[in-house]
A = this chain, B = another copy of it.
């Protein structure tokens, strides 16, 4: 009976992820999730005691995947600049795979900052070697040009993430000009991010 168990549980999680992503914690209805999963609503409560817990499962999963994917800059066998390039690649790849993820995170975190902070602490245990620390070390050792690492990181994440976060807005803004923000643009986006990294991390002035 464990197979069936596993099955419905993951089915529920998938449905919940879909609905929560679209509607957020408040907007999502347990009935919608049940319908999406093709099961009775009571079964949701059988597997996950209540809405809060079900949401935590989805939310925690999303965050976990997010951080796991960003855990690459720890590889000290390659140069910092290469690591940053890879970091941005994977970041954009991740967001391409889960386009609603960033919107979802923004939504939920902004309306429930406490819960988020708690969750983060639980998931980011081993990441002493964060990208920020890598940048700081790189600047101190002179491997990359001197600059404000927080601003650089913010700029980098902005260039990568905002296109996904704001694609609905951007489409609306662009549509007057007959231009759309489509998936084709991702390659170009990647290129422009790389260009930015080269611009900020190259020691050309030696």
Point out residues on A near B: beta carbons under 8 Å: 22-24, 26-27, 100, 103, 105-107, 109-111, 113, 116-117, 120, 124, 127-128, 130, 132-133, 136, 148, 150-151, 154-155, 157-159, 161-163, 165-166, 168-170, 172-177, 179, 181, 185, 188-189, 192, 196, 199
Contact = CB atoms under 8 A, between A and B. Distances in A.
A154 B150 contact: no
A172 B22 contact: no
Nearest to A105: B169
10 contacts: A24-B27, A107-B110, A113-B168, A116-B172, A132-B173, A151-B188, A151-B189, A151-B192, A158-B166, A162-B165
Given A117-B172, A157-B170, A162-B158, A150 B185 contact: yes
Contacts of A177: 130, 132-133, 136
Nearest to A152: B192
Given A111-B23, A199-B199, A157 B162 contact: yes
